[in-house]
Structure 1
Amino acid sequence: MQFIDLKSQYQALKPSINARIQAVLDHGQFIMGPEVAELEAKLAAYTGAKHCITVASGTEALLIALMAEGIGPGHEVITTPFTFAATAETIVLAGAKPVFVDIKPGDCNIDPALIEAAITPATRAIMPVGLYGQVADMDEINAIAARHGLSVIEDAAQSFGATYKGRKSCNVSRIGATSFFPSKPLGCYGDGGALFTNDDVLAQAMREIRTHGQSQRYLHTRVGVGGRMDTLQCAIVLGKLERFEWEIEERKRIGARYAELIRASGAPVELLQVAPDRDCVWAQYTVKVANRPAVVEALKQQGIPTAVHYPRPLHKQPAYAVPDCPAEAFPHSNWAADVVMSLPMSADLDAATQERVVQALRSATTQV
């Protein structure tokens, strides 16, 4: 059983993806070829954002966003400790300090009720994360940012394709940043990412930063990075876009069926909460279980792959540890790190396999 079934996806899209790759091999423009602009136009139209700037990875997207906002030494950025390291990593690489705010236990996204207390004169931005595929409470976060003159950079590495109050993820704040890592809802076959904004000045800055700060060839108007997304990877995403809407609907349907099956099974498993004013694209289908190591092992013995996103929050990571952090700090993040577990999930997950997973989950959680 595949944890993420990219092979079935490729078989369904093989003619389109192969043709797209072959077109790049034929024209030979491997950097900034025509597929780059084509993908940017299509992704901008999809999200409703005015500008899309493709970049080398989701990590690069966050770093370029911070650089475009002029965030650096002496500045602070508020974010969640319950996320992948890249969220805090880019803040540190920009020279700023990540300031952690705990999550809500229901959906594992940053708790906006705790953000204002973390703002200091050094705060320059808030970086919420759409964990597991559900957009955070962006209206509340944007309102806090507006009151304090802060930027909001949405880390939408897992939530691209999701909808929040009728708006698409990556078009719900000043800047949206996403990833096309292969396992994401919309993934390439390597690294890739994109930035979104409705601000013309920011868009120009981000375009320049991704090409070593060039406003034109060999004229470097700002400090930049080598942050372009390869033409081949853009071509692959273009091929995958052909059935992306279908995949999103399937992910939502499969996620709803997981919840229905788990509830019907009576398994002692806590489900993630999805707010009624938004949806979730289930980048990972994550549940919460007691005695996780034993459950993971029991599922493994039955041929069911699992993953943990994430086993150690960032404030407990050596690279991002909070000095003199009291044991009771970030209690919801600490708890989530001990109980979350992700089940197999992809748009091609069939009903029989899903039923097998839930039966195994029930057996594992009731016997440990």
Structure 2
Amino acid sequence: MESKSNFVDYVKIYCRSGQGGSGSRSMRREKYVPKGGPDGGDGGRGGHIILRGNRNYWTLVHLKYNRHIRADHGAPGGKSRSTGKNGADKIIDVPCGTVVREEETGQVLFEITEHGEERILLEGGRGGLGNWHFRTPTRQAPRYAQPGEPYKEITVILELKLLADVGLVGFPNAGKSTLISAVSAARPEIADYPFTTLEPNLGMVEYRDGKSFVMADIPGIIEGASEGKGLGLRFLRHIERNSLLLFVIPADSQDIKKEYQILLNELKQYNPEILDKQRVLAISKSDLLDGELMELIRKSRLPQIPYVFISSVTGQGIQELKDLLWIELNKESNQILPIEEKSAERVSLPSNPEIKNSEESTQTRTSTDKEEEKKEGE
């Protein structure tokens, strides 16, 4: 969706490749060569329109005011069988994670996911053949040549889906922006009012021994977002490629389980496949709790996913959260195994009572759990 800010993740552009140059009808003209015959060269190829992934870009803002992109035409052929110059290709740098969609049909043409990856959107027209190619024993002086192939044109929509390992999901004012600023160098706007975050933010989370992973914060979701309330679901495509979803729910929520189910339902309305991703729960603002309240929440009916109490202000539970996220991201397989098999794969986190799952703390969701959650989300 287009934005008035410097973050632009949706743009429509018109592209036109170059036309091929015409072949030459030149006849050889030299002193003492009265019948030199044809010597017309071929026309040059028209320029291609090429999209290239560039990790130095993370938004499409550079295309917001440059929506008509044209490659150069090929030059016509010359005498002495000289070939015309090819039209210069037009290379469009885009962020990794850009989806290219044809405007008229909505069909996805391709995606750019790697740095340096190049895909030809439109090929330039082929240059026409010069008259030299058309000489025959019976027609030794042809005076015609091929015209160059015409250019091609298309209007496409570029959509950016940010590439991140962990996507933050939660209501406005859940503490997502404070969390990403606490674990990374990202500095999103933080204030005590809803929808402070109006655009996605990326942060590189430094882990142990020089390891790291990328976290994405998107604007908060509210109940009814799938019907257009709040900011709607306009930014949810940025978590479609995340390996793991981190649900952030504040400790002062009246019903953590209900809030979690509302978020699940909104995600399902957008794309049911998102529910197949790994999930972790961070109970934020835990510095507001005393030991008795924290224990009461632990004993309450919480979502059947790994969880940890955190405070982005005091740093409570932050390292434990990083440990949990790293383990979930680096599991050998995300396939759901039966409980008997999964119980043999218990992971050892740094000893801290704040990291637990709910009642079955050492087990990942079973397929039955996931089906129940999907039904509850309905």
Q: Which has the higher helix share?
A: 1
- Name the structure, 1 or 2, with higher relative contact order (CA <8 Å, separation 6+): 1
TM range (shorter): under 0.3
Q: Which has the higher strand share?
A: 2
Computing the radius of gyration from Cα coordinates, the structure with the larger value is: 2
